[in-house]
Each structure stands twice: as C-alpha cells, then as structure tokens.
A and B are shown apart, each in its own frame.
Chain A
Amino acid sequence: MAVKILSEEWVKEFGKAINNNPAYKEAAAWWTGDMLVHVEPSGPLDHDVKFFLGLHKGECTGTYIIKEGDNPECEFVLAGPYDNFVKVAKGELDTIQGVMSGKLKLTGNMAKLMRATRAAQEIVNSLQNIDTEFL
C-alpha cells in the first residue's frame, strides 16, 4: 500500500529501503555522517519539512521527521523545493544534475561527498523503491 510522502511512516520506509539495498551497503561501507534533508515549500507543499537520515558504515541507523525548532547536527544537508524532490523520487531528475543545476543544494564535507557518489546514487535508488503516495 502506498505511503504518504514526508510522513513519519514514509521516512521509516525510506530507512528500511536503504537497509534492504545491498548495493548501498557495499558502496557506503566506509561512510560515516548523518544527513538532514530539508524539503522546501513548492507546489502542493506549503511548509518546510525536514527529516533526519542516520547513516553509518553501510547502515541506515534511523530516520525521523524533525520537529519544528529542533536542529540536529548533521554532517550533510540536502535541500530543495518539494517539486524537485518529487522528480528525484520518480527518477525524472538525476540527483547530481539537480545539484549541479542548482535545483538542489548539497552542503557538507566535500571530500567525503565526492568519494561517495555511488553511495549517494544508491540512496536515491532506495528512495525509488518505496511505494509513495505523492501530495
């Protein structure tokens, strides 16, 4: 059954999808560093939504929707309008192309990021495996 995007249930499914992805496990075996994903209002989304992805050595250690006012320290932040995130989730926008064209903004330790492009791609592949109900 489809799960509503950006709901607490959905982010849990996202975490499960990452852990069920053996290609991610292999590509990110060395990776440490949590990610904050900030989805900005656009289209049918009229407010900011932030969620946390715990990532450690090939495992997703936890996911949750960040409450307003909370500001967990994360090594990486991926931000962008809702519409662009939907395109990524549907496979219509390549993440790297999104970042290079300014449609998505990625900040964090550059050395790690540039070493992790395969791991990043597998996170996106995991996202595309979720049965998502879009807004």
Chain B
Amino acid sequence: MVIKGFIGKILDIDLRSKEIKEISLDEEIAKGFLGAAGYAVRYLYDFIEEETDPLGPDNILMFMTGPLCLSNAPTSGRFTVCSKSPYTGIWGEANCGGYFGPELKKAGYDGIIIKGTSDDPVYLNITEEKAELKDASHIWGKGTLETHEIIKEESGSNLTRVACIGQAGENLIKFATIASEEKAAGRTGMGAVMGSKKLKAIAVRGAKRKFEAAKPDQYKEAVNEMIGNVNNSFTTQMFGMLGTPGGVDKYNMEGELPIKYWTQGQWDGAFNISGATASEMIYTKQYPCYSCPIGCAHKASVDEGQYAFEGEVEAPEYETIVSFGSLILNDDLKSIVKANTLCNDYGIDTISGGGTIAFVYYLYNNGKISSEDIDGLEPEWGEIEPALEMVKKMAFREGIGDILAEGSDAVGEKFGISQDEIATAIGQEVPYHDLRHTWGMALAYSVGTTRGPCHCACDMYMVLLGLPFQDLGIELVDKYSDDEIMAKNCAIEYDYRSLYNSLVLCIFSNPPPDMVAKVIETATGLDFDIERIKITGERIYTMKRLFNLKMGLTPEDEKLPQILLEPLEEGGSAGKTPDFEKLKKLYFQVRDWDPETGYPSPEKLEELDLDNI
C-alpha cells in the first residue's frame, strides 16, 4: 500500500448471494478524496442513481474508516456510514465515535461495502481469520443494548466491537440510527438502510495491529504537538467536564437555544438541564472515544425518583437535551436521560425523532390537532410522558407512531400544516443551534448542505467563537452577518469539515490547520500543506454536491421555513434574522455555482479535478 495509514483492503459483501470478498482500496480515489466519507462519496457516485430506492436492494451501504484511524492522533478513531438517505433522498452520511473503526482496521480492513438484501436477518462477523454472515433471528427484534451484549457473549470477548440497529432500524423508521458502543451513527437514516437489508449487526474483533506512519519520527513529533494543543484547549476542558450540554446556559442567554419549538427566545428552565447541572446531578464518569483526550461523552446514573434505574447509561448529549428538554419546555433532566436511553436502545436519531415529537407538541398546544388525532395523548408543554410514549410508538410504528416514523414533514402533510411551520429543510429536522443567533447557520441548514441540515458539516456557531482557522481564510466576523464574508466563511468551513470527515477527526478537536496538515503528511506520506487541505476539502465537498444533484436536488429545494426565520420577541437574538435569499445568492457566487441548476461551473470542476465525473 503506497499511501500509509490505509490497510489497502475493503470487504465487499453481497447479502443476496452471500458472497464475501476482499477488494483493494482504490489508491487514486484515496489520493484525491482520502478515506471515510470522501472515499465513500466518490465510490458510491458511480453506483447509485436518482431512481435507486434507498430502502431497496440496489442501494449500497458503506462503513468506512479514514487514514488516521488506529493512530494516536487525537479523536481519530471515528468512522462514517454512508449511503443514499431514505429520509432526504440525497447523500446520507453518519459519523460515529467509539471503538468500532479502529477494531475494523485491526481486523485488516479500511471499510465494508454492503450490497443487496438478505432474505433473512443476518449479522456480519469479522475476525482476523475470516468474515462470515451468521443467523441473526435470535437478535432480530431486540434493542441495541441487548444486541451488543448477546453478540459480545457469543464472540467470547467483551472487546468485540459491534455496530447494530435496534427495532427502529428493523421497522424502517426513516431516521433510524446505527448504534455502536452506546455511540451512534445518528443522522440521515443509515439504520433504516441497514434494516432494509436485514443486516442486524456487524461484529468485529481484530488482531493486535499498530498504526504505521509513513515518516515515523516526524509523525511522532507532529502528533505530539497536536495532542498538546488539543489537551490545552478550552473546549477540551469545557466538554470534558460538562459534556456537550456545557453550552446550554450560554446559548440560552444569547438566543442560540431553541425553545418551545423555535418560538421562544429565553427560558428559565435551561439552568436545570445544562451541562453544569448535569455534572452536579447525573454524571458519573467520562466515556471517551478511541484516542480522544476530550472525553465529551459521559455516563449517567439516576438513582431516585420516577426515572431511577440500576447502573449507568450514556448521558444525553446537547441535541437530546434540546429535543426532549427546551424544545418542549421540559426541565426535568432525569426524564431526558430516560428519553435518551429509549432512543439509543431503539436506535432513533434524537434530533429527528425528538424534533418530530416536539412538532406534535407545537401542533397540539396551538390547537391544530387534538388528542383524538394522536391516540389520546395530551402533549402539554413541559410534560415529558407523552413524548416518551411517542418514542415507543415511533420505534414500532404503532398507531400515530407510523406517521411519526416518517418525520415532521409527513406529520405536517397528514394534518394539513403549512411547510412554513415545520422546522425542517430538505425533509430533515434542523439541528439545535438557532440560526437567528448565528446567521451562517442558515447556510448550514439549507444551502449547499452535504447531508441535509447539519450543525457539524458547517459549524459556524462554533467557528465564530474563535476557532483558530484564520490560515484557511476564515475571518471572525459578527455572528449577525449575512454578507459575502459570512458566505465565504461557510464555504471554507464546509470544505474543511468535509476533509475532517474523510480522515476522520472529531469537530471538537481544533488545532491550527497547519498542525493537521503535518499529521496527515507524516502519517500518509502524501504531500500536505494548507493549500492541499483546502483543495482536498473542496473536492470532497463538491463531490457530495454532485452526488446530491444527481439524486435530483435543485436550488429550489434549498430553502428554509418561516418558523426558523421569524424574529423572536425576546432573548439574546430578539428581533434579529438573516436575509436568507441574500446569503443564498452570495453563497452560490462564492462557490461559482449556476444559480438555476446549482451545478459548479466547468472551470470549478476542472480546478478540482472533477471534470471527468
């Protein structure tokens, strides 16, 4: 293998014929697109068509690691799961931490390509000796937590790493997740694709294998510099102690926290569900991913009250705190732990699942639906029990759950609600950093999105806090800017995070980009500097754009509902909202995209070596 960091092999599985073979990693793709999501989008572009049914046998599911996976570069143990999304109809990509990615590398593979559909439930078992499909009838119907336990026990080792679906994936909930070691490949419904293939789980137990860098001594120096930088950063401290909900108090103060289904600007209850409160009330310990010095994930325990349980579970992340907390005016943190555990076990994305449920609260409390419409439930603001009930119904498609499982747009259509009242874009629920607070998020949620609205693909809310990305060309402008600089900033950040998702690195790890370039170069042997970081990122991002256009995305689809643009009357962002059409137009100009078709210009494609696509 010429490019170090990669193993050079991918498992290729056909679930129809049960054929399992090894194929070589395409080095030309890897040179241009690196690994993980970058590799996957280039590979899948040639095989998936607009007519491909995302839940049909012709869709392809890819689990991919990046060239830094198994190294000690901070936060490098993540992996991506990619396919055509059954929820948005465009590029589906979910990013997951934990330990599955490095274990797959240890087993001798950079990734897994899954084609076709099995007649019966199966799981894929991978060891250093072989990969085989096993009967999964005994775990079909079980939640992700129990599935993990059973497979690990069958494998004879607790170090077997598992990625699996719960009942939500089996029942083809459009935003079903793939769970791995209590982390999740959460967004865009990759769990539903896996469920449609009757693939319950992938289990992997590898051999002892060390990461081999291309230039070991220089790599050691470069990675130690990166480790030092990440260890000393404020976000490492903050997330490490308070978890991702650490920002809740600040967000509430400044108008960034979505409240009462996007209609309220500030809320006293936020204090009770913040990371600060969680650290005092429920956290037991940090639960870091592979090679992660940040440790944003925590375990939680609740040992008294209505939601008490034995042992520890994964503590809710920020997005879950919002979807089952501020979005429905629920400030009972322990109940949110319960909601989170249910979603994790069933395999439901808490942003889309919680967002859909919160939409039902909005409709009910505004008199647009009645209790009879929703199986007799009475989802009053602040009452969590109806939400917990809806999670269960959703996972099994029972009663109203059958429509909830299709998401907010389907709920809106059923009850004749205007799209302008539904907080989705490109068919998917918008995540929880209010764009009226950081105007660049208007682009992150709707224009040029790679996988539908995403706070990670273009995390301008975090960048403008002061991340050291000036070498990439990012300018720290006022967050209430809707000018060309903001559009350019978003373009640069989209490109950089596209690179991140091809390495894979976590967006909470933000050393200066030249440090990242040095680590890539010394690890892989590829010449890498800031300019190559920028062009590679832009190439990967544009490849995803081409994929989405191939799937039928048009500029008309790239819009936002009024409920997200209506200025709020109170709170830190009161009265403020971006000029969305202006930002969109500027973004297209910055990108050199045709305003009618959304296509990059021929000159842009040539610049990115994509003119042969």
A binds B: yes
Residues of A that sit less than 8 Å from B by CB: 94, 96-103, 105-107, 110-115, 117-118
* Contact between B275 and A114, CB atoms less than 8 A apart: yes
Question: What is the CA–CA distance of A112 and B229 in the complex, to the nearest angstrom?
Answer: 24
* Contact between B235 and A114, CB atoms less than 8 A apart: no
Assess whether B238 is interfacial by the CB under 8 Å rule. yes
17 inter-chain pairs at a CB distance below 8 angstroms, sorted by A residue, are A96-B465, A100-B467, A101-B467, A101-B468, A105-B232, A105-B234, A110-B237, A110-B279, A111-B275, A111-B279, A111-B280, A114-B238, A114-B247, A114-B250, A114-B275, A114-B276, A115-B249
Closest to A103 in B: B466
Question: What is the CA–CA distance of A114 and B271 in the complex, to the nearest angstrom?
Answer: 11
Assess whether B144 is interfacial by the CB under 8 Å rule. no
Residues of B within 8 A of A114 (CB): 238, 242, 246-247, 249-250, 274-276
How many interface contacts (CB-CB < 8 Å) are there between A and B? 62
Residues of A within 8 A of B234 (CB): 99-100, 102, 105-106
**B467 → A minimal CB distance (Å):** 6
* Contact between B233 and A110, CB atoms less than 8 A apart: no
Question: What is the CA–CA distance of A102 and B271 in the complex, to the nearest angstrom?
Answer: 27
Residues of B within 8 A of A101 (CB): 466-468
Assess whether B394 is interfacial by the CB under 8 Å rule. no
Question: What is the CA–CA distance of A105 and B235 in the complex, to the nearest angstrom?
Answer: 11
Question: What is the CA–CA distance of A113 and B476 in the complex, to the nearest angstrom?
Answer: 23
Assess whether B253 is interfacial by the CB under 8 Å rule. yes
* Contact between B476 and A115, CB atoms less than 8 A apart: no
**A19 → B minimal CB distance (Å):** 22
Closest to B468 in A: A101
* Contact between B467 and A111, CB atoms less than 8 A apart: no
Assess whether B178 is interfacial by the CB under 8 Å rule. no
Known interface pairs A96-B466, A107-B237, A111-B241. Does A117 touch B250 (Cβ–Cβ under 8 Å)?
yes
**Listed residue (B254, B275, B465, B466) with the most chain A CB atoms within 10 angstroms of its CB:** B466
* Contact between B253 and A118, CB atoms less than 8 A apart: yes
Residues of B within 8 A of A115 (CB): 249, 271, 274, 276
User: How many residues of B are in contact with the other chain, CB < 8 A?
Assistant: 28
**B573 → A minimal CB distance (Å):** 14
* Contact between B253 and A110, CB atoms less than 8 A apart: no
Question: What is the CA–CA distance of A99 and B236 in the complex, to the nearest angstrom?
Answer: 12
Residues of A within 8 A of B250 (CB): 114, 117
The one of A96, A107, A112, A118 in contact with B276, judged by C-beta atoms closer than 8 angstroms, is A112
* Contact between B468 and A110, CB atoms less than 8 A apart: no
**B575 → A minimal CB distance (Å):** 18
* Contact between A102 and B276, CB atoms less than 8 A apart: no
**B394 → A minimal CB distance (Å):** 33
* Contact between B468 and A102, CB atoms less than 8 A apart: yes
Residues of B within 8 A of A111 (CB): 241-242, 275-277, 279-280
Interface residue ranges of B269-294 to A (CB < 8 Å):
271, 274-277, 279-280
- Render B235-267 as a binary contact track against A, CB cut-off 8 A, 1 for contact: 101100110001101100110000000000000
Closest to A99 in B: B234
Question: What is the CA–CA distance of A111 and B283 in the complex, to the nearest angstrom?
Answer: 13
**Listed residue (B271, B276, B467) with the most chain A CB atoms within 10 angstroms of its CB:** B276
Residues of A within 8 A of B279 (CB): 110-111
Residues of A within 8 A of B237 (CB): 107, 110
The one of B232, B254, B274 in contact with A102, judged by C-beta atoms closer than 8 angstroms, is B232
Question: What is the CA–CA distance of A107 and B240 in the complex, to the nearest angstrom?
Answer: 13
**A28 → B minimal CB distance (Å):** 13
Residues of A within 8 A of B280 (CB): 111
**B382 → A minimal CB distance (Å):** 22
Interface residue ranges of B499-546 to A (CB < 8 Å):
none
**B314 → A minimal CB distance (Å):** 20
Question: What is the CA–CA distance of A110 and B277 in the complex, to the nearest angstrom?
Answer: 11
Residues of A within 8 A of B465 (CB): 96-97, 100
**B232 → A minimal CB distance (Å):** 7
* Contact between A99 and B466, CB atoms less than 8 A apart: yes
**A118 → B minimal CB distance (Å):** 5
Residues of B within 8 A of A94 (CB): 466
Interface residue ranges of B413-446 to A (CB < 8 Å):
none
Closest to B463 in A: A100
**B241 → A minimal CB distance (Å):** 4
* Contact between A97 and B476, CB atoms less than 8 A apart: yes
Interface residue ranges of B369-424 to A (CB < 8 Å):
none
Residues of A within 8 A of B276 (CB): 110-112, 114-115
Question: What is the CA–CA distance of A70 and B235 in the complex, to the nearest angstrom?
Answer: 30
Question: What is the CA–CA distance of A94 and B247 in the complex, to the nearest angstrom?
Answer: 17
- Render B456-477 as a binary contact track against A, CB cut-off 8 A, 1 for contact: 0000000011111000000010
**B276 → A minimal CB distance (Å):** 4
Closest to B462 in A: A100
**B206 → A minimal CB distance (Å):** 36
**A57 → B minimal CB distance (Å):** 17
Residues of A within 8 A of B246 (CB): 110, 114
* Contact between B238 and A102, CB atoms less than 8 A apart: no
Question: What is the CA–CA distance of A113 and B241 in the complex, to the nearest angstrom?
Answer: 12
**A26 → B minimal CB distance (Å):** 12
Residues of B within 8 A of A106 (CB): 234
**B485 → A minimal CB distance (Å):** 16
Residues of B within 8 A of A118 (CB): 253
**Listed residue (A94, A98, A115) with the most chain B CB atoms within 10 angstroms of its CB:** A115
Residues of A within 8 A of B476 (CB): 97
**Listed residue (A105, A107, A113, A117) with the most chain B CB atoms within 10 angstroms of its CB:** A113
Question: What is the CA–CA distance of A94 and B276 in the complex, to the nearest angstrom?
Answer: 23
Question: What is the CA–CA distance of A122 and B465 in the complex, to the nearest angstrom?
Answer: 17
